[in-house]
A and B are shown apart, each in its own frame.
Chain A
């Protein structure tokens, strides 16, 4: 009906028609919102609330340390406060804030209407909100985590943290990490598949390159922390001794797993901020970004190098010199690609005529601060210096210079730059400059002093220090600086409120930028573009004013709403050639309910209501299955007109739609988690004391052989099912049965055929590897059953076979990982026997 009224639409008629399809009504329906504009803003706003809480905790820390022998807080309160400050700032502010920025901006910069999986975005947001709320509730209840934001065992083990404090951290942070992994997959698929027509990789806006690299880093960086958290929680809850040296565990395993995440995390936080600078700075310089290709190469180098320096947090634990040299050199080397970006920005400035508006002020603040942080980082990369400064306030100063310099200042620049986009108003800027200078001066006074207290030997994390230490004056100055900085943040907040209330309205593109987000009305409509652009130049050298008018009058792709469906254009990954139409699901409460069920799952673990855990897990699976109905079709659709005389098939009839790529990336994350687990087990064999165990597991080959045959059968049957779609019910039934046999055998091996997993880390390692493989097979059963249901419901045909092909990927991966798991007991037993000899 709608398209019939749209033969020659006016921009206003088009707007109304699109808004009916894409808009989210007010009231309770907002809880069902999946639109990236709403979710992106929610992410940012929630992150700012957490930032305020984290900032308040920082003020408590500075109040405590302002004087020697302070009685403001006792040791336990102080431990909770500094642990929560770090955890909130890292996990609940920095990452979610840039996720929010990316969720809000990326579709606009790429010239599309939404992200690839809007319901996943919404689910990620609710997981973040609920997980973060668990931490805050624990803080209010006086049972907040208290072992430091990196939760080192044995301090975080049952012996030294007997309450639920550490459990809160492990479970809530893992809950929040779901959100980060969801965002990573979402961003990667969106950047690779949902760009404007003609936007080949070399024409992408530079921010998209940054976010693509960051998302890939998140996909590989977060699983080791999740595995570490699972292992530590297993130790705390079920006494599996992964970190207990008395039974073959090793606390250093946690440090490895944590920093495998933790160091890339610094770059995961910095790179989006750098991406914002690379987008904003050329606009104010009035010159194109210098060295676009060199910057892309530097990003790739940084991504890899940042994973090669996790041990630089562990120099003091006793690591052979040659291994230290690997990490020390990589730590110093990572400064080179960082430097390439800084020089590219300087070159851009030198080529243009810079305008020193407020965003630029914050960029200059970033440059000053971040360069100092980078230089102290190079100092700490050098082993002998690190040994001297390790665990002192020098390190605290360094990390704040890097994180505040490398994230907060650029994000403030980004906020001042893009708030007009969000609000439709330009800043009045009466307070902006004063706010910047208070922040800048306050920050440097606060944290520069910490270099000095650190060099004078003040350890981090102490809640009091003696009068005679000589640290009091510097600490007092530092605390005064922190109050000035807080006033600066308060002014920024007031400035933003004033902007929303009294800012000047503008029509379009107030900064004269060349990127696509300005080729739309501001604040943006829910659908971003009334029709989708086709571009021929690099996407930061466009003319949004001219393009915006054309797109608003429907002269691009998909310029008419069809069958009340939300539609996007997917492109070939490299060239940007239009490939198919993606039909998005409508708004739904399911992400909220699914996240609530996920929250109940984590709460059941936290309060040790283990009878409830399988019920909540089953309800999560059930709710996820309910997601599948919306975009399904019972008949083949064929080609759909997309405008400009072209016709394209819908995504469900494509060989590799966005969901196929999402599955590939999800499996990559799973593989990283699994490899991290195997690394952990082998690390214990190499490094942990009290090996070999008294009882080396002896495994008959029958059980693993049955599991291996079942897994290979499942993969073969899964492949046959995908090839014979839709006549594949029998094959899928065989897949499910084979997975059932594999899961049962693996569970039997893990629980009955091997020594008690609590006896030694070797037994617990084998137990967890087998249980992980059994879990995958369990999900394989569900996926097979789902395939059968989809065929029987008429959702599968020869063309519409994506469900079965996604299943095939899962079955193949389960087989490969399961085969290694089936062989794992033999490998570990033979390694342990080698030690016995």
Chain B
């Protein structure tokens, strides 16, 4: 069984990893593309990588949220601590699921390297 403290943090922990990964991939991708601003607006490979990362991570977060919600609905061990951690974890996963498309959805259409 996962430590309840870890399970409470897990949703936004994954969100943070995604944040750092997307920011790092975007910055490194633009760096590798060079400084030719006229061409870097359309970097299909970089956009594809970012969009794929975003979609896969979003799907994973949604899956985990659904799993957390099912666990919360299904299990009633009579243990307050258990119920507490499951409820808080479900809220946190929901928060991460909402934050993910709002924060990272821009990879689909926004300028990747131009300032």
Contacts and interface: CB of A to CB of B under 8 A. Distances in A.
B91 interface: yes
Contacts of A294: 91
A346 interface: no
Interface string A294-332: 101110110111011000000000111111011001100
Given A201-B4, A321-B115, A323-B27, A330 B103 contact: yes
Given A320-B26, A329-B103, A304 B81 contact: no
B61 interface: no
A723 B50 CA distance: 46
Nearest to B46: A322
A545 interface: no
Interface in B1-36: 3-5, 8-9, 12-13, 15-16, 19, 22-23, 26-28, 30-32
Interface in A27-60: none
Interface residues of A, number: 36
Contacts of B87: 293
Nearest to A834: B32
A575 B32 CA distance: 51
A297 B93 CA distance: 9
What's the dominant secondary structure at chain B's contact region? helix
A307 B27 CA distance: 18
B16 A304 contact: yes
Contacts of B5: 201, 573-574
Which of A201, A297, A329, A337 is the most central at the interface, judged by chain B CB atoms within 10 Å of its CB? A297
Contacts of A371: none
Contacts of A574: 3-5, 81
Contacts of A318: 115
A200 interface: yes
Contacts of A297: 8, 88, 91-92, 95
Contacts of B50: 322
B55 to A, nearest CB: 15
Contact of B115 (A298, A307, A320, A834): A320
Contact of A323 (B26, B84, B95): B26
A329 B107 CA distance: 13
Interface string B74-115: 000000110111011001100110110011101100111111
A605 interface: no
B22 to A, nearest CB: 7
A333 interface: yes
Main secondary structure of the interface of A (DSSP, over half): helix
Interface in A591-629: none
Report which residue of A202, A300, A305, A318 has the largest number of chain B beta carbons within 10 angstroms of its beta carbon.
A300
B3 to A, nearest CB: 8
Contacts of B106: 321-322, 325-326, 329
A307 B112 CA distance: 22
Contacts of A687: 27, 31
Interface in A178-227: 200-203
A200 B5 CA distance: 12
Contacts of A201: 4-5, 81, 84-85
A307 B16 contact: yes
Give the interface centre of A200, A323, A329 by most chain B CB atoms within 10 Å: A323
A267 B15 CA distance: 19
B111 A321 contact: yes
Nearest to B24: A682
Contacts of B113: 320
Contacts of B88: 293, 296-297, 300
Contacts of B99: 301, 305, 329-330, 333
A318 B81 CA distance: 48
Interface in A706-739: none
B13 A293 contact: no
A75 interface: no
B115 A300 contact: no
Contacts of A303: 12
A263 to B, nearest CB: 13
A200 B103 contact: no
Q: Which of A320, A322, A337, A573 has the most C-beta atoms of chain B within 10 angstroms of its own C-beta?
A: A322
A338 to B, nearest CB: 13
Contact of A321 (B32, B81, B114): B114
Contacts of A834: 32
A321 B31 CA distance: 15
B84 A308 contact: no
Nearest to B22: A326
Contacts of B8: 296-297, 300
Given A202-B81, A323-B26, A301 B12 contact: yes
Contacts of B91: 293-294, 297-298
B115 A686 contact: no
Contact of A300 (B12, B32, B114): B12
B10 to A, nearest CB: 10
Nearest to B109: A322
A308 B16 CA distance: 7
Interface string A555-584: 000000000000000000111000000000
Contacts of B3: 574
Nearest 6 pairs of A and B residues by beta carbon:
A297-B91, A202-B84, A325-B106, A304-B12, A321-B111, A322-B110
18 contacts: A201-B5, A202-B80, A202-B83, A202-B84, A293-B88, A297-B88, A300-B8, A301-B92, A305-B99, A320-B112, A320-B113, A321-B112, A322-B106, A326-B103, A574-B4, A574-B5, A686-B31, A687-B31
Given A308-B103, A320-B112, A326-B22, 16 more contacts: A201-B4, A201-B5, A293-B88, A297-B95, A300-B8, A301-B99, A321-B115, A322-B110, A322-B111, A323-B26, A325-B106, A326-B104, A330-B19, A330-B103, A333-B103, A685-B31
